[in-house]
Amino acid sequence: MIIEGCMTSHAVTPLPPLVLDHPLIKHKLTHLRRAETSTAGFRRLVRELSLLMCYEATRELPLEPIEIQTPLEPMQGEQLAGPDVCFISILRAGNGLLDGMLDLVPFAPVGHIGLYRDPETLEAVEYYLKLPSQVSSRRCIVVDPMLATGHSAAAAITRLKEKGARKLLFTCLLSTPEGIACLQKAHPDVQIMTCSIDRGLDEHSYIVPGLGDAGDRLFGTR
């Protein structure tokens, strides 16, 4: 299936990107970017960064009251109101962000979407899609470490919306002004959460200064 990328949407003002600028995030991101960081180190840092991102990405999750007993007295606490959240990984590098996210929200179901770029038409083509049930009522936290051109992110979100997803948040480690503009143009209703807006893209559509190929660095396929 061919999916449209950065087509203009009819909705109005795009949500501004949320840049996570916590010192821990900046520190870990710097070490993640280093060319000499090993695969093991890269994985550990991505896991730690995704924990920190998840903390922010889940800020709006609804709570419900629950009566509990402390060692001293009963009290009314709060707990997450049911499993109305899910993670959706854009294959394959998105999977690297799942471990940390699932450490914090272990009950969340996980969807996967796989897209490749047709070398002739340059269109995004879907090769895999498996989503949790009731995706339309869930807050969908879409994970992909790199928002580069924005084409595959926009195409993935178009497809998720076709499947009923409505409450979508796109989370990434690195982004570019071009990628943000593309995604905002196609999906102005989707909040983008990123740890950094890098300078731009090189002639091969790699993010610069970037961190290289996130999938290769995560899975040791360099």
214 binds ligand URA, rule: CB under 6 A: yes
Among 25, 91, 186, 207, binds ligand URA (CB under 6 A): 207
| Residue 55 or 206 with smaller CB distance to ligand URA | 206
The pairing of strands 146-147 and 167-175 is: parallel
Distance CA 161, CA 48 (A): 29
14 binds ligand URA, rule: CB under 6 A: no
Restricted to residues 135-174, the positions that interact with ligand URA (CB under 6 A) are: 146, 148
114 binds ligand URA, rule: CB under 6 A: no
Task: State the DSSP H helix or E strand holding residue 151, giving kind and residue range, or none if neither.
Answer: helix 151-162
Does 75 belong to an annotated binding site?
Answer: no
- Closest separation between CB of residue 200 and ligand URA, Å? 11
Give which of 69, 135, 61 is closest to 104, Cα–Cα: 61
- Closest separation between CB of residue 175 and ligand URA, Å? 10
- 107-129: burial string, b at 16+ Cβ within 10 Å, e else: ebebbbbbbebeeeeebbeeeeb
A 10 A CB-CB count for 210 gives 20
- Binding range to ligand URA, per CB under 6 A, among 113-121, 127-135, 154-162, 208-216: 208-216
- Closest separation between CB of residue 146 and ligand URA, Å? 4
Give which of 113, 108, 107, 89 is closest to 172, Cα–Cα: 89
Q: What residues make contact with ligand URA under the rule CB under 6 A?
A: 93, 146, 148, 206-207, 210, 213-215
